[in-house]
């Protein structure tokens, strides 16, 4: 969490206790004292070491599309964080993009969710969304995402900071992806710091802007009336606002809300007032936020950004994933 330094210092004793707990948990699984459960299909985990967004959903979407194009039967397993009725904003986004080409299992027990899917039909690849800390389920490939805009060396363990696990937990990863690399220093230093891991820089590219509530095609930025008010309720709102600037969207004002925020009529009124005072012509938000707009209604059009993961040296990245799947099938964590 982004606490002021004095509060972080006060919370450090709790972080030490928390750190001891997560180290013990990982040790119990890695030594086999607690056995992992294994699904019949191969499992690829996508996760991170911090709370907040690092681009997990775009990566899961990228992997799903790649495996589907390869003729694989794909399912996605997710905790469904802050969701209800077997869903969440991330799951709804993925369902909208992937449709019925992919099966979904949502719940705290990802093994049970996966088993239910396998009882209905075979699955070749399970994509474990936000699964790095879900050690109860065995996986064949561990992909670790690291937000390059928020260096881990400056982070504390929860609750004083944003780290879910100590940095030593990187040793469980098979591949590391440094996301949001646009405009950041060279990835060379990161490679030097983590020489034992294959590391790939990645970012996001804007495929288009789609007006919320319509089935029209996605429009390029040049066709969007500007300036806009940008708002979001995601783990790293600053990254979204920076992306808009990089994509050439003229932003008159911004508003950020807590991650997974469910928008209300009062929120809509405050945003409308912000648009009026800043002379904005439209609203722009993320695809994930669209799932949480609920009953919020706007007089100005709302557009969402449809994005895609952009991995440097994509061919080599995909080759390593396929090689890891083949080599580690049936292997423990």
Dump the DSSP string for 208-250: EEEETT--PPPB-GGGS-SSEEEEE-SS-HHHHHHHHHHTT--
- Whether 274 and 290 map to the same domain: the answer is yes
User: How far apart (Å, rounded) are the C-alpha atoms in residues 58 and 203?
Assistant: 10
- Whether 19 and 139 map to the same domain: the answer is yes
Give domain status of residue 151, yes or no: yes
Q: Name the β-bridge partners of 282.
A: 228
Give domain status of residue 304, yes or no: yes
Of the candidates 206, 202, 194, 192, which has an alpha carbon nearest to the alpha carbon of residue 148? 202
Give domain status of residue 135, yes or no: yes
CB 94 within 8 A of CB 61: yes
- Whether 176 and 217 map to the same domain: the answer is no
Provide the residue range defining the domain that includes 110.
5-181+312-328
- Looking at residue 332, its pLDDT comes to 47
Residues in Cβ contact with 5 at an 8 Å cutoff, skipping those fewer than 6 apart: none
Structural domains in the chain (count): 2
Give domain status of residue 196, yes or no: no
- Whether 84 and 210 map to the same domain: the answer is no
Give domain status of residue 197, yes or no: no
Give domain status of residue 284, yes or no: yes
- Whether 298 and 319 map to the same domain: the answer is no
User: How far apart (Å, rounded) are the C-alpha atoms in residues 92 and 133?
Assistant: 22
- Whether 120 and 54 map to the same domain: the answer is yes
- Looking at residue 196, its pLDDT comes to 74
- Residue-by-residue pLDDT tens, the chain, 333 positions: 678 888 988 999 999 999 999 999 999 999 999 999 999 999 999 999 999 888 999 999 999 999 999 999 999 999 886 555 567 888 999 999 999 999 999 999 999 999 999 999 999 999 999 999 999 999 999 999 998 888 787 789 999 999 999 999 999 999 999 998 865 555 545 555 665 789 999 988 999 999 998 877 788 999 989 999 999 999 889 999 999 999 999 999 999 999 999 999 999 999 999 999 999 999 999 999 999 998 899 999 999 999 999 998 899 999 999 888 777 554 444
- Looking at residue 291, its pLDDT comes to 92
Peptide bond into 317 cis (omega under 30): no
Give, for 288, the enclosing helix (H) or strand (E): helix 287-290
- Whether 172 and 240 map to the same domain: the answer is no
- Whether 321 and 270 map to the same domain: the answer is no
Give domain status of residue 192, yes or no: no
- Whether 59 and 164 map to the same domain: the answer is yes
- Whether 106 and 235 map to the same domain: the answer is no
Question: Kind of pairing, strands 199-211 and 228-232?
Answer: unpaired
- Whether 43 and 99 map to the same domain: the answer is yes
Give domain status of residue 195, yes or no: no
- Whether 174 and 209 map to the same domain: the answer is no
CATH code at position 105: 3.40.50
């Amino acid at each position: 969490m982004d606490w002021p330094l004095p509060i972080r210092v006060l919370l450090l004793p709790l972080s030490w206790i928390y750190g001891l707990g997560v180290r013990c948990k990982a040790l119990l699984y890695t030594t086999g004292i607690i056995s992992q459960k294994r699904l019949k299909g191969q499992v690829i985990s996508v996760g991170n070491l911090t709370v907040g967004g690092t681009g997990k959903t775009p990566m899961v979407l990228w992997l799903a599309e790649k495996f589907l194009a390869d003729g694989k039967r794909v399912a996605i397993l997710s905790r469904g964080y802050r969701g209800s009725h077997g869903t969440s904003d991330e799951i709804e986004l993925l369902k909208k993009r992937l449709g019925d080409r992919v099966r979904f299992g949502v719940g705290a027990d990802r093994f049970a969710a996966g088993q239910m899917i396998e009882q209905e039909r075979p699955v070749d690849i399970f994509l474990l969304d936000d699964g790095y800390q879900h050690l109860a389920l065995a996986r064949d490939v561990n992909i670790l995402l690291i937000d390059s805009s928020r260096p881990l060396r400056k982070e504390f363990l929860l609750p004083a900071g944003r780290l879910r696990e100590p940095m030593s937990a990187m040793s469980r990863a098979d591949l590391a992806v440094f996301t949001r690399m646009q405009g950041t220093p060279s990835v060379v230093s990161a490679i030097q710091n983590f020489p034992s891991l294959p590391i790939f820089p990645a970012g996001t590219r804007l495929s288009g802007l789609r007006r919320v509530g319509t089935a029209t095609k996605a429009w390029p930025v040049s066709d969007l009336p500007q300036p806009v008010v940008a708002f979001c309720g995601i783990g790293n709102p600053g990254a979204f606002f920076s992306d808009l600037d990089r994509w050439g969207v003229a932003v008159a004002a911004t508003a950020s809300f807590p991650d997974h925020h469910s928008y209300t009529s009062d929120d809509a009124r405050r945003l409308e007032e912000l648009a009026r005072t800043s002379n904005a012509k439209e609203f722009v938000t993320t695809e994930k936020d669209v799932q949480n707009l609920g009953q919020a209604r706007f007089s100005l059009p709302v557009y969402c950004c449809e994005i895609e993961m952009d991995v440097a040296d994509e061919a080599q990245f995909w080759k390593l994933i396929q090689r890891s799947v083949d080599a580690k099938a049936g292997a423990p964590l």
